[in-house]
Amino acid sequence: MSSPKASKPKASKPSSPKSAGPKAPKILQVPTIVDALPDGLVPVQFYFADLKIDIETPWAFLPTPGRDQYLVLEWNVRGARPTDAPPILLPNPMTAADFPYRVTIPQAFMLNSAVVDIRYRVHNGTPNSPSDDSSDIVTITIDRDAPGSGALLPPAIFPVDPITEAYLNANPQVPMEIPGNYLDRKVGDQILLYFSDMDLLPTGMPTLVSLPLTSANGRIFVDVPNEVFRRFPGALWLFCFYRLRDRAGNVNPQFSQVARVRLQIDILEPIYNRPSFPQSNAHPNKYLTCSTQPPIWFGVEVFIPPSTDIRHGDLVTLRFQGYRQYPDVDPDPSIVETLIHYWDGVADAAGYAFWIRDVERLIRPLKENAGGEASYFVSRAGVDIGRSTSRFVQFDRVVPTSPAPPDPIYCWIDGNGPED
């Protein structure tokens, strides 16, 4: 019995590939956005001039006599139709020595926040010629929206109240909490903190800038060196405002609501004579009243007596604090003034007179049986040397012929009358 023939296996057809392989590389290389950060974010400082773009690498066939080329930049805002920037006639002739070649997109393209894909095309002959090559895209981000804008920022949160010398001794870094649910919060945001002994909007540079945030949600704490709290010797309060700045450099236009904390900080023992209020000397009770000369609505003098312990070049810092009731009851946090003077050993041999001139804020609120306190501190080469004892003076602006309470008449530069 013969064995059956073995059947030949059928040859299988080769399977066709699903794709034709990797895309061919672009003839034109991706452009470089000169001022963009590595992730494509363009800082806000560059939004006010044309956007600089470098074409780093030449292509194979550059413009030659009789062969003009135009470069057209495409501006493709995601979610909108692409727009071409004005075409650029390239130099003719053009060689590899002309690269990198700098071109720009007009500043008017950057008026709004956007994520933008940018590429460029090179057209032969005319800017509308169908004969063109295009580059790969580069993506940039324009961010014109400041964090926290459009809403009132709540105050910062002090960790304890009051802040005492013992607390600062135990805590080299004081963690301030910043409410973290502000609008448009992003990774990389920074907190700009402003500390002051006066409840007034800041006008200078921030006291401290936080490290960039590493999260776009959750609680925010900023470590503040305890020496910041010791910069205000003799202050009864410390005030804190903050603003927000994002990675692009946008800063919210309004300061936060103010945070306030009581300070109980040890200061130097008094070694200097107390200051005086010379205008009060003419009053039998040493008050500052409607009859004071020169009138208190023009200014209040605080005199620093000479001392052999105050040297030429020493910094003398005057602190004035107002109280709603004489001498030191119910201090008003908005009636605080700090004035400075560098001591001149010749000109100040007989002493120095500070003048409180911001009378509407500091003097006018001191109406009846109110108090003012003056003291001063001396520092030398940045080191605190000593302080004076305090001088208290009573303010009373009730006109002597005023009707009986509850409707007294007060004196001021614009005439006698009732005040709210």
CA angle 154/155/160 to nearest 5° reads: 140
What's the rounded Cα separation, in Å, for the pair 121 and 416? 78
Structure confidence at residue 420 (pLDDT): 78
What's the rounded Cα separation, in Å, for the pair 365 and 233? 24
According to CATH, the topology of domain 32-142 is Immunoglobulin-like (2.60.40)
Q: Please give the CATH number for the structural domain made up of 163-264.
A: 2.60.40
> In CATH, which superfamily holds the domain spanning 270-395?
Immunoglobulins (2.60.40.10)
Structure confidence at residue 10 (pLDDT): 39
Residues in the chain, total = 420
| Domain 32-142 matches domain 270-395 at the CATH topology level | yes
Structure confidence at residue 366 (pLDDT): 97
Structure confidence at residue 348 (pLDDT): 97
Sequence-separated (6 or more) residues with CB below 8 Å from residue 202: 194, 196, 241, 255
Structure confidence at residue 402 (pLDDT): 81
Q: Which long-range contacts (CB under 8 A, 24 or more apart) does 333-338 make?
A: 333/199, 333/236, 333/237, 333/239, 333/260, 334/198, 334/199, 334/200, 334/361, 334/365, 335/361, 335/362, 335/365, 335/366, 336/197, 336/198, 336/199, 336/235, 336/237, 337/198, 337/362, 338/197, 338/198
Q: What's the pTM?
A: 0.79
Structure confidence at residue 21 (pLDDT): 38
Could you state, in order of their start, the residue ranges of all structural domains in the chain? 32-142, 163-264, 270-395
State the residue for tokens 């410390």. 238
Structure confidence at residue 216 (pLDDT): 96
State which residues of the chain have pLDDT below 70: 1-26
Q: Alpha carbon of 375 to those of 329, 355, 366, 385: distances in Å?
A: 17, 13, 18, 14
Structure confidence at residue 404 (pLDDT): 75
Structure confidence at residue 26 (pLDDT): 67
Structure confidence at residue 233 (pLDDT): 82
Structure confidence at residue 280 (pLDDT): 97
